[in-house]
Amino acid sequence: MTNTSLTVHDVSKRFGTFAAVDQVSFSLAPGERVALLGHNGAGKTTLFKMILGFLPNDNGKISVLNTAPGSDDARLGTAYLPESVAFPTALTGREVLSFYARLKGQKPKSVMHLLDRVGLADAAKRRVGTYSKGMRQRLGLAQALIGQPRLVLLDEPTTGLDPISRQNVYELIGEIADHGATVLLSSHALTELEVRTDRILILSKGQLVADDELSRLRAQAGLPIRLKIWTRPGAAEQVADQLGNVDRSRMNGQSLELDCGIDEKVKTLSAISALSHLVEDVDVHAPSLDDVYKHFSQTAQKEV
């Protein structure tokens, strides 16, 4: 058997005439952290539900930990955190975690350290109703860590969280992956993913339009680097004439912007430094994940 945690091969799902997921194929290796990007309704949750065996796929084949989705073996090795989950407010964090530990065949005592790991040790005996949104999400993550799963599916784990809570969530995800588990998470919040994922899948209107490392996706997209130059007062025109290729619509007396390809970056920067008596500062904007994502999802939509 091949060493993959999850294989999705040529999978489609239609609701009536609407193709929620359309001929999607990819596979994930152990220890990989993979982000699944897509706008609302792109088919992320539908894909998750098929991987979990809640929805039958119309065609194609899904293999979870080398077994069928939804089988006991698949469920034993898989952890899942849904997009929005509201635990019973009357129960305490400890009781909620014990409940899921028992369902997963673990002793409640053996999972209590997870509350510590997600920073909820102090709140363990408080009712979930008194928790903040970030705390509830962390409780959900603690649930997803029970029994050392080999495949962890997180549906928008950081939506609605403040920056600090997001940091915590990504630290935890890093820890899970370090233990050899595959993490597949979907997200809207793109920029924060850049340094924290090994691979990115982009889903647009049910189709997988990109599947690669971010740096290579950047190269594939061929998006220009944008340089913003601040000049001495009144010198903008002169600099623009010298450099050429300047976006005149985004120019004013003190600053100008120009786009250049990755291969021309060094050449352009040295041309700018040659004008150092006129230039005060330079900002280099590499295309962000947002730009890359926009590029791929828009290209896909134009083709349709």
Residue ranges binding other proteins (CB under 8 A): 49, 52, 54-55, 72, 75-76, 78-88, 90-91, 95, 99-100, 102-105, 127, 140, 143
Nearer to other proteins, 86 or 164 (CB): 86
What's the closest the beta carbon of residue 53 comes to other proteins, in angstroms? 9
Q: Are strands 33-37 and 199-204 parallel, antiparallel or unpaired?
A: parallel
Would you tell me the crossing angle of helices 133-144 and 163-178 to the nearest 10 degrees?
A: 10
What's the closest the beta carbon of residue 249 comes to other proteins, in angstroms? 47
Nearer to other proteins, 60 or 147 (CB): 147
Nearer to other proteins, 11 or 256 (CB): 11
Nearer to other proteins, 55 or 176 (CB): 55
Residue 200 corresponds to which amino acid?
A: I
Categorise residue 173: left if φ over 0, alpha if ψ from -120 to 50, beta otherwise: alpha
What's the closest the beta carbon of residue 28 comes to other proteins, in angstroms? 17
What's the closest the beta carbon of residue 79 comes to other proteins, in angstroms? 7
Nearer to other proteins, 102 or 267 (CB): 102
Q: Are strands 18-28 and 33-37 parallel, antiparallel or unpaired?
A: unpaired
Nearer to other proteins, 157 or 287 (CB): 157
What's the closest the beta carbon of residue 169 comes to other proteins, in angstroms? 17
What's the closest the beta carbon of residue 103 comes to other proteins, in angstroms? 4
Q: Are strands 199-204 and 78-81 parallel, antiparallel or unpaired?
A: unpaired
